[in-house]
Structure 1
Amino acid sequence: MLSLRLIPLILCALFLSACARSPVVQLYDGPAKSDSQVLTVRVPSEIEVFTINGKEVDGVNTFFATDFKELKLTPGRYEILAYYKELWQLDADNHDIVKTNPANFIVDGKAGETWQLDYDKPANVEEARALEDTFSGWTLNTATGDKVAAEESNLILKRGFLAPITGEDVSTASSQNIAPQQSSTPAPTATASSAPQAAPAPAASYLDTLKAQWKQATPAERREFLQWVAE
């Protein structure tokens, strides 16, 4: 719960963050392409992206820009770990930030398509709190209306940290280029002249996971963690 005196400081920080970032994020290498050449994923402002295909990417979470931020990606399949986060006003003096456990949103899109992450929006803070352990949603093709239900991530968001309970590997992207996964569409049968497939990239280290979790922590949580380490 937040005191009213802290709200101006938080709003100022969020405003500066919004000024420094664009609501459109290019997640492929090279010059910008037209929308007909890329896959667009719209993310509501109340949803924060943790990882895309197992990588944490800078700039995908923005504040006060628009109702949505748009991610521009190479066409293909993506798994987007994302969670609900919203500031609710409780009364004249107090606010509360509600965060949920993440869900795994699946997007398998073609060039020119726009998909949107969506969920059942809570009407009040009680409904928002009820989502903390049960958050889910779907991805929506904005042109066709096709929906793909989000999957359970089996991750727990606790005290600012994402604590993986199934060995989820997380790494920090070395660039803003996020490559798609292999499409769910069956690939053509390989022939003798086919080019060999590249070996899968090695799994991220546990250190990478800790780094990603550290970035999710608040200053107070970081101090408490350091005090615990020093004991």
Structure 2
Amino acid sequence: MCHVSRLFKFAVLMMSVVLVGCASSAARINTWEGSPQEAANPAVLKAPGAIQVKSVNGQNMTTYLIDDLALDYGLLPGKNEVVFTYKTIWAKSGVVENGESKVHTIESEPQVVRFDAEAGTTYRFAYEEPSNRREAEAMMDSFSADIVTAGGQNVASSTNWDGQSIFRTARTPIPQASGDNGAPAGTTLDQLKSIWADASEEEKRAFLRWAFE
């Protein structure tokens, strides 16, 4: 029974890796339709694992089975609208009952940030990071994240999302880019090997503990 459980867990993980292989190995996830001229030199928004991007310019973003991935989003120059949540996970102390989650999940209400992206500029999320679960819980009522440039310049701050997008017509992402922005070439096994090779030693140990616990 334990052997079956391990095989099932491993299979689920492999499915997750295949699904996120493009996001993990590709340069970025593009958020526009077709091949507009501005796409030749897009802006890039870097989202850490704690930031879950829900939509960009009215278009829902893909939800992956592994939800703590650090992802890059390609943005067309000009006005952009990003809806996201902030989520942290904290291990529970003490004994955990059967069927009970081993972690506390703390997640903010949906946030929205709107800013004018400049061609070729890289942006990232900046926010106060809690040192423990209590601090994380206390932050949620007033949570806000800033969008800053690589040089640290603050260009916008997020507010609570009211569900109303400024984009009447959602832009759909390019189904699957090719070349530098596409999924890694080769078979699924090749992709898995590539992702494993890029993983840190800590990530490899964490995976092995999870797969065979």
Describe how 1:1-231 pairs up with structure 2 within 5 A: 16-21=15-20, 22-23=23-24, 24-30=28-34, 37-58=41-62, 63=67, 65=69, 68-91=70-93, 93=96, 94-142=102-150, 144-155=151-162, 164=163, 168=164, 173=170, 175-176=172-173
Distance between the aligned counterparts of 1:123 and 1:79, measured in 2? Answer: 29
1:85 shift after superposition: 1.2
* Structure 2 residue identity aligned to 1:20: L
TM-score norm. by structure 1 comes to: 0.55
Distance between the aligned counterparts of 1:82 and 1:147, measured in 2? Answer: 18
SS in 1 for 2:140: coil
2:16–2:64 Cα contact (<8 Å) kept:
no
More helix as a share of residues:
2
Distance 1:31 1:121, change over 3 A: same
- Tell me the residue number matched to 1:198: none
> Greater CA deviation, 107-116 or 87-96?
87-96
1:62 shift after superposition: 5.6
Distance between the aligned counterparts of 1:135 and 1:122, measured in 2? Answer: 11
TM-score norm. by structure 2 comes to: 0.59
Distance between the aligned counterparts of 1:53 and 1:33, measured in 2? Answer: 18
Distance 1:41 1:132, change over 3 A: same
Distance between the aligned counterparts of 2:141 and 2:75, measured in 1? Answer: 30
Distance between the aligned counterparts of 2:168 and 2:16, measured in 1? Answer: 23
Could you give the per-residue CA deviations for residues 159-187 of structure 1, whole angstroms, max 9, x where no partner exists? xxxxx5xxx2598957216xxxxxxxxxx
* Structure 1 residue identity aligned to 2:74: K
2:52–2:87 Cα contact (<8 Å) kept:
yes
Distance between the aligned counterparts of 1:101 and 1:58, measured in 2? Answer: 19
Q: How large is the RMSD of aligned CA atoms in angstroms?
A: 3.8
SS in 1 for 2:119: coil
Distance 1:126 1:13, change over 3 A: farther
1:40–1:72 Cα contact (<8 Å) kept:
yes
Identity %: 22
Distance 1:36 1:171, change over 3 A: closer
1:149 shift after superposition: 3.9
SS in 1 for 2:134: helix
Distance 1:32 1:53, change over 3 A: closer
Distance between the aligned counterparts of 2:154 and 2:65, measured in 1? Answer: 23
2:81–2:113 Cα contact (<8 Å) kept:
yes
SS in 2 for 1:133: helix
